[in-house]
Each structure stands twice: as C-alpha cells, then as structure tokens.
Amino acid sequence: MNSSLGPWLILLLSIGGLVLAFFVIRRQRYLKSLRDQGWTFDGSPTLDRSYGLNCPPFGIGYNRKIDDLISGTTSAGVPFAVFEYNSLGYVAALMLPRPLPELFVGTTPRPGAEGMQRTVGPWTMTAKDPSWAEAALAAIGAAMDAMAAGGHRVDLSVDGARLVALGVPREAQAMRAFLEALAPIAQALASPALAAFEAPAPPSELSLYQRPSWIYRPEDDRFLDQVTVTSSGYSHEARDVVVGDVHGIRMIAFTHHWKTDHTETSTDANGNTTTRTVTDNHSEEILEFLLPWHFGDLSVNWPGWGNRVRFESSDFDRAFKVRSRYPKFASDVFHPRQLEFMLSARPLPFAIESGRVRFDLGDNTPERIMHCADFLVAFFAGVPGFVWADLGHTEPPISRDLDGF
C-alpha cells in the first residue's frame, strides 16, 4: 500500500466510526425517550401486527411492511399501536370496543378510499353509509375540532375495530401529545350510542380492500400443489398469494418463481476451454378458480386444445376465439346476450377444463384478480337455465341476477 494513503485511510475510518457512533447514540436516546413514556418498542415487528386493518392505506397492493412498533395506552386508558407503514411514516391505531363501518375523515380525501363524499366545515368525509357518517360526525366532531385546534394533523379512518390516524409525529413528546388529542375521538366512537352500527368482524389476516373475505399472504408455498404450475426446475416459490371464495368458487392466485440451471462453455485465446453453470430465474402468474359444480370444457383466446367455434357476430369472432370439443355446448353457452357481454367485458384469455378455470393473468395485481373474479361470476350467471339442466343441475348454481346483461 502506498504509504501516503495510510493517514487518509485512517482519517476516513475515523470519520466513519464517528458517524456510526453518532447514529447509534441518537437511536438509543430515541428509544429511551419512548420507554420513558411507559411504552414498549419492537424494532422488528411482523406483519401480523397489522392484521385486521384493511382500509387505505392498508389493504392496497403487495409488498407491505411495517417497522418500529410502539405500543402503550393513552392517559385515558385507550390501547394504541404506532408503527411505520411502507413509506407513509408513522401511523397510529387505537383500539375500539367493537368493529364499525369504514369511515374516512380529513381535510382532503384519503387516496384509495371508496364511498360517498361529503364536506362538512373543514372536514371531508368518505363513507358508504350516509347515516353512519352523520352519526359518527355528531359523535366525534367536537373532538376532531379540538385536535385540529391543538395543531395536530387530522387524517383519520375507522378501520374495523380500530381508529387509524396518519401523520403521527416521530418524537416521543410530540407523539404523546398527538395520541392524547386522538384518544377522545376513539372514546367517542366507543360510545354505546354508536353500538347499533356495529359491523362484521374485520379480516383475521392480511386482506384486500373491498374484498375482506380474501386472504393475502406475501409467501405461501403450500398452494403450489393445488394449481397447475410449471414443474421443471427447482426452488419453487409462491409469492403474493391471494386466496378467497367468490360465490362458492374457490380462487387461488400467486406469482410462481423457480430456477433452472444451464451450462455455458467458452474458449480463450489460448484454446483453453472452461465450463460454468448459470442459474436462470423464472416466473409465471397463476390464477385458478376451482368450480364446486360440473361444467363443460371450453376456452376463450387460449392456445391449444379444441376446435374453434364460430358465431353469428363477426365482431365477437374477431375479438375472441372460442374453442371446445363440443361445439353445440359452446353455442348454447355463448348466446347472443352473452356475446354482447363478452364484447363489453373484454376478459383476459381463459380456459375451463376439468372443473378448473385458468386465466392468462399476465400481471399478478389485485385489480386484475378482482376483474377476473367479477367477470367469471357474471359469465356463469349468464349461462341459460337449460344448459345447467343438461349438465345435471336442478337449479343454476349462480343467480341470474348477477349476470352481465
């Protein structure tokens, strides 16, 4: 080593050590300030601490993560959890004695929230039930005004059995003041006067917004054996798994990852040959619905099996290639009104075979999965009654009220 570089290297290492020590000391002081409040701290919380939260910002997309869990109670005895969620900063979740309908209140609408919006004074409220929104505002309006008057951000939601607040300050004293201002709102929501609005229990695991009965798991390889996947290779994984029930039809969706190896041989200028093993990473998007009742085989814009069946609609034939081993069955299923529905719905390619419906998902997103699930229900609901009877069903298994036309 060049002797002239030695002092510079020592200086750089010293500066690096001082910087590291600074951040370690600052972190320890921060943790002490939290514990001095009587709170507990978990620097590596798992996602199960957010189970039951399913309204935006929760329940949206994949790649969810939480960090820095702070737990305790307010001076009024309301249990709370504060944690960092994704890239949104700290959020607070205060316990409520019962689950209540979703509600969003703030100075601006909450991104991703669905429902009817109403502006009352400085507040924008979003809810699906206007009577609930009116009753809730009457109960919490004064406490929200007091919170805002204290200089705190008011961006709240009722999410199952918890009151959620965004924009929680990070520093311990400011966090305590924020939580103390928030507690009266949680207490007002706990009032027996609102007990008549009790909602169904929140999801027991991670879920998707607007589909609380569906379960989302970042990874669960147990579902690999329950659907059709590429079997070659090794290190098979099922990531971003979504499972649920759609009008009695079981649904499984995930991204399948696996690896394969191949060898590459090269020769250098001297004629020496070397061989190395190269690992290739692969993925495919899986979406299957398992039918609880018998249905014939057919496919739409799906490569492979069956003869193409043509229809009287040239627009339909240009947009869709229907294949089936039983052309009459396909013609009965795709009656004129069903053809119109298909042209408006524009479903992804799918195949029905041996009691399973597979979609060519293309991209594993909640929006695509929801679109396919809603389409499939409407599609089966549009199948004529005589087709179901020919298949051995005394009644259609899905109500015609759910058809797409």
- Residue 75 corresponds to which tokens in the numbers above? 């001076």
Query: What Rg do the C-alpha atoms of the chain give, in angstroms?
Result: 28
* Dihedral pair phi/psi, residue 292, rounded to 5°: -85, 5
pLDDT recorded at residue 27: 67
Structural domain boundaries in the chain: 35-197, 215-402
* Confidence at residue 69, expressed as pLDDT on a 0 to 100 scale: 96
Q: Tell me what pLDDT residue 145 has.
A: 96
Q: How do residues 357-403 score in pLDDT, each as one tens digit?
A: 999 999 999 999 999 999 999 999 999 999 999 999 999 999 989 88
Q: Comparing C-alpha atoms, which of 130, 103, 241, 249 is closest to residue 185?
A: 103
Which residue has 């589909």 as its token pair?
Answer: 211
CA distance 148 to 184: 13
Q: How is residue 233 annotated by DSSP?
A: S
- φ, ψ at 46 (rounded to 5°): -100, 160
**Cα 26 to chain centroid, rounded:** 35
How much is the pLDDT for 19? 57
Cα angle: 91, vertex 96, 99; to 5 degrees: 105
Tell which residue, 74, 96, 336, 319, has the closest CA to residue 194.
Answer: 96
Distance CA 387, CA 405 (A): 18
* One-character DSSP codes across 271-288: --EEEEEEEEEEEEEEEE
Residue with the two structure tokens 């951000």: 153
**Taking a C-beta distance cutoff of 8 angstroms, is the pair 86, 64 a contact?**
yes
Instruction: Tell how many helices (H) and how many strands (E) occur in the chain.
Output: 8, 16
Q: Which residues of the chain fall below pLDDT 70?
A: 1-27
